[in-house]
Amino acid sequence: MAGLRLDVVRDAVGPEMAVIIEETGGVVGDWVRDSVLGQGFGIVEESAGLLGGRARDDIALGRVPP
């Protein structure tokens, strides 16, 4: 909704429809923001189980070539 000029919308569709578009856009924007923020916590929880794994190569174990 940030790129939408509400004065132009109001002139094109009328004041009643402009209010409906503005309010609907705000609700959808809040829903998307909350959904995206909620996914971040899920990703952290999934990757937390990987931190305790064993090293899979010599570099991770600190071994260097001769």
- State the pLDDT at residue 35: 84
- The verdict on residue 30 lying in a domain is yes
- State the pLDDT at residue 28: 93
- The verdict on residue 57 lying in a domain is no
Per-residue pLDDT of the chain (66 residues; tens, 9 = 90+): 667 888 898 999 999 999 999 999 999 999 998 888 777 666 666 665 555 556 566 666 566 666
First to last CA, the chain: 60
- State the pLDDT at residue 16: 94
- Domain count across the chain: 1
CB-CB neighbours of 18 under 10 Å: 18
Range of the domain at 16: 6-48
- Crossing angle, helix 6-13 and helix 15-48, to 10 degrees? 130
- State the pLDDT at residue 34: 86
Write out 3-57 in H/E/C secondary structure. Answer: CCCHHHHHHHHCHHHHHHHHHHHHHHHHHHHHHHHHHHHHHHHHHHCCCCCCCCC
